[in-house]
Amino acid sequence: MFKKAALIVGLTGLIVWTINSNISFATPKEEVETVENKVGISEGQLAPDFTLKTINGEELTLSAFRGKKVILNFWASWCPPCKAEMPHMQEFYVENKDSNIVLLSVNLTTAEKKSSDVAKFVDEYELTFPVMLDEKGDIGQTYQAYAIPTSYLIDSKGVVRKKIVGPMDKEMMNGLINSIK
């Protein structure tokens, strides 16, 4: 009787050991690599690519800036927090324009009363960074820019690292951009 019990316990142990040795457990690094291959707007996902025309008629594509850190900012000219943020954005842009950092601004043109309001705003705030026009609202929808300003911090591999809802100042932008690769 004792031999049968010992045999059953031994076989059960052998079966459990065999099953456990064949199961591989994902490490956090493997999980991050898997997420980064997926396109989306969540932290750790590859930022959805898009092409938009700037206020000057030039076409810009997000993926063309791979290899650089990107702040992608969504705004409208009538938005008080956007107005408060723009001088800081301009100052940040001037200080970083010759570096490995890009500031891309997307005006939610469908939210404007008149499209001419965008040009007036750019002139009034003396903005020199790229201002892209989301004339159909598709990109704002994709990036879920429902509250504005909304910004995304994208690393040099094109991966979303942070979403910021609300205005940023220059110090905040510097801190955020320095926190990523």
Q: What is the pLDDT of residues 104-144, one digit of tens each?
A: 999 999 999 998 999 999 999 999 999 999 999 999 999 99
Arithmetic mean of pLDDT, 162-181: 96
Q: Work out how many domains the chain is built from and give that number.
A: 1
Residue 123 is assigned to a structural domain of this protein: yes
Cβ-based neighbour number of residue 41 at 10 Å? 15
CATH number at residue 110: 3.40.30.10
Residue 28 is assigned to a structural domain of this protein: no
pLDDT: which is higher, 28 or 88 = 88
Q: What is the band of 1 on the pLDDT scale with cuts at 50, 70, 90?
A: low
Q: What is the band of 173 on the pLDDT scale with cuts at 50, 70, 90?
A: very high
Write phi, then psi, for 154 (nearest 5 degrees): -120, 130
CA 14 to chain centre: 48
Residue 107 is assigned to a structural domain of this protein: yes
Residue 51 is assigned to a structural domain of this protein: yes
Residue 136: domain span: 38-178
CA atoms within 13 A on the CB side of 68: 16
Cβ-based neighbour number of residue 117 at 10 Å? 15
Residue 140 is assigned to a structural domain of this protein: yes
Write phi, then psi, for 145 (nearest 5 degrees): -90, 70
Residue 47 is assigned to a structural domain of this protein: yes
Residue 110 is assigned to a structural domain of this protein: yes
Answer positive or negative: Cα dihedral of 121, 122, 123, 124: positive
Per-residue model confidence (pLDDT) at position 35: 56
Per-residue model confidence (pLDDT) at position 37: 74
Residue 65 is assigned to a structural domain of this protein: yes
